[in-house]
Chains A and B, each alone.
Chain A
């Protein structure tokens, strides 16, 4: 509550505490009277004499002010809470048994987090390995679609009874044919639905006419999903050739034979950056599962 006080007088009065006489009327008040007065527990008649004394006795008035200014001194409840809470709660956390429990809990928690992340990493690597192995040993029924980048407008597709409807089983049916050829032929046909055959680099013009025919046929495939990457490598081998480019597998990564350790441009198959890549580069990346480093037009791309 704000007081509408004369500021001058307020300043002067506060300074006036240092001076002035103090002639107490009668003997000093005892502790019981002071505590009762502070609690407003003195009957009116007795209060008069107390007030008369306190008005002029600085020591008694000072003690009274201390009692008034410290509520715990005049509260009904005893100081139990003060005694019990002598130790702050945060200090109790650092007492020996509690700190031991806390430390152990933290160790277990961080351990669990570490195990979780490690297991996640192992899972991802396992998935990559399984993807690499699948094209060689799995049946055509398994249909992995590396990325949604091969989406084409429906108008480019002329579905035939044999062609794949945009459903997994139908696509599987179409893909059944190429794996046979993938086994027989060292180079897997490029399957980029709806896209024209990529302009293979000069060094990669080993693709024969059969492959180009197949490419045309398979270009009619709907835009949906493609089979697992067609790699000419035999299961378990560390080398393969895709679209005329040779790749060697090292530490789980297919590395272009032309790669000489330069800085790579990292691209994810599911990203927009991947869609902006050259068709040929994308084709290669789509044919090889997992992480692959491709040297394309003088630059090294790491696609994963």
Chain B
């Protein structure tokens, strides 16, 4: 780290402490190493031409209260630990419940998290190792804790991968196994003849593969946006907030990305399977329509069941 930023860092660190509602008796020397580590990780590592203004801006955007809380906990401040547990135990437990099938496992996971944070483990030199030392203050402490819970849950699941998996642990499975090996990726509804069904399946497989290939050809930003929206069901406004632009901008980007994927898929299908323009359009429509029919059928059944239930309730009860 350039020495020219030392004085700026010291001055800005003092501002962090003054910004905090409760600085917990920390001194500039307590907070400066953490700030320098964050700068190194997020600013200097990927940008050798960092300006002083960028350094100041980076430090000013740190979450002062949460950083002070974490640093005080690392110093062994009992009050800080009480506040940390009081304020974030619910967050940890909530995250653990989402990762575990039953409450007992969730409690165990939450307890493990707190143990990790307390630093019950010791490194080879005998020093206490605490995950708190990894919190930089850039993101929220709650978000950091949730991420810690998720990662620890994945590690635990991998260790216990020999045990029988229950359906509720599907999320675990998807996280731990990076690539799905599901063979049954049917995009078709039951058709009249086995030949048609086979044909439809093959078509669907080709279409799916073309889509995957097209997605891989997108830029990382576009690929990430597409996956977060379509695969992870992130809402448009949340997606926009994460990427730092307006919701309208996010919607326009998604439209553009989808159009790009369509163009790529068409090109791939034509090139790899020799399909004509009309065949590509027809097969894409069929694949989507089959899935749509399946969904419509499910909706019709659901609506019918709801109507019947309502009629019975009104007439009988």
Instruction: Please determine whether A67 and B143 come into contact, CB atoms closer than 8 angstroms.
Output: yes
B75 within 8 A of A: no
A14 within 8 A of B: yes
Task: Classify the interface of chain B: helix, strand, loop or mixed.
Answer: helix
Count contacts on A: residues with CB < 8 A to the other chain. Answer: 70
Given contacts A6-B258, A43-B43, contact A16 B174 (CB under 8 A): no
Instruction: Please determine whether A66 and B230 come into contact, CB atoms closer than 8 angstroms.
Output: no
Given contacts A35-B146, A39-B139, contact A21 B236 (CB under 8 A): no
CB distance from A263 to the nearest CB of B (A): 38
Given contacts A13-B258, A18-B185, A41-B61, contact A36 B288 (CB under 8 A): no
Distance between Cα atoms of A54 and B291 in the complex (Å):
29
Q: What total of A-B pairs shows CB separation below 8 Å?
A: 249
- Determine which of A22, A32, A54, A79 lies in contact with B136 in the assembled complex, contact meaning CB atoms within 8 Å: A32
Interface residues on B, range: 35 or more
Instruction: Please determine whether A11 and B175 come into contact, CB atoms closer than 8 angstroms.
Output: no
Contact with B along A18-53 (1 / 0, CB 8 A): 111110100010111011111111110110110110
- Tell me the residues in window 146-165 of chain A with beta carbons closer than 8 Å to chain B beta carbons: none
Instruction: Please determine whether B139 and A63 come into contact, CB atoms closer than 8 angstroms.
Output: no
Q: Which A residues lie within 8 Å of B233 (CB)?
A: 65, 69
Q: Which A residues lie within 8 Å of B265 (CB)?
A: 9
Instruction: Please determine whether B47 and A43 come into contact, CB atoms closer than 8 angstroms.
Output: yes
Distance between Cα atoms of A46 and B236 in the complex (Å):
24
Instruction: Please determine whether B212 and A74 come into contact, CB atoms closer than 8 angstroms.
Output: no
Q: Which A residues lie within 8 Å of B216 (CB)?
A: 20-21
B292 within 8 A of A: yes
Q: 9 tightest A-B contacts by CB?
A: A35-B139, A65-B232, A31-B147, A35-B143, A36-B139, A45-B47, A8-B288, A36-B138, A17-B231
Contacts A56-B220, A74-B142 known; list 20 others, CB within 8 Å: A1-B247, A10-B230, A10-B258, A13-B258, A16-B208, A18-B185, A19-B208, A20-B212, A31-B145, A32-B144, A34-B143, A37-B139, A39-B138, A42-B138, A62-B232, A65-B234, A67-B143, A68-B228, A72-B94, A78-B66
Which B residues form the contact surface with A (CB < 8 A)? 41-43, 45-47, 54, 58, 61, 63, 66, 86-91, 94-95, 98, 131, 134-136, 138-148, 150-151, 154, 171, 174-176, 178-180, 182, 185, 187, 207-209, 211-212, 215-216, 220-221, 223-224, 226-228, 230-239, 241-244, 247-248, 251, 254-255, 258-259, 261-262, 265, 284-285, 287-289, 291-292
